[in-house]
Amino acid sequence: MKTIGDFIVCHKQVCKIVDIKNNYLELVPLNDESLKMRIPSDSKVLRNLISKEEIDKLLKEIPSIDAVGISERMIENTYKELLQSGTYEDLVKIIKTAYLRNEYRKNNNKKVSDRDINT
């Protein structure tokens, strides 16, 4: 149950719930308090913040999360799919993959891919 004063993620922004009316949440992003958004309380763009316990668990799992082994042509679509999944494990996969790809390119005197820089 969401209440006024709670924090929530909306469209990848951390927001504070400032009002609740008729199954709509009025949200204010923390990075721009002049902006107010009204979002249905059951919207798919809303998710709860990650808890400290979930963070601790994810940090322990990072060594066992594998990077994505995919061809150069498919990497952009794979990144998009992983981002859409909304799981923190998939975000770690993207980070690991981009890091390893960049390291490989640097070590082989190749230019770093724009896809991996902007990830």
pLDDT of 37 reads 94
Domain 1-49 is in which class?
A: mainly beta
Q: What is the DSSP letter of 64?
A: G
**pLDDT digits 0-9 by tens, 54-108:** 999 999 999 999 988 877 788 888 888 888 887 899 999 999 988 888 888 888 8
* Choice between 114 and 41, residue whose per-residue pLDDT is larger: 41
Hey, where are the domains in the chain? 1-49, 50-119
Q: Taking residues 31-45, what's their average pLDDT?
A: 92
Residue 116 binned pLDDT confidence (cut-offs 50, 70, 90):
low
CA distance 32 to 35: 6
pLDDT of 103 reads 85
pLDDT of 29 reads 95
**pLDDT digits 0-9 by tens, 10-30:** 988 999 999 999 999 999 999
Entry pTM: 0.69
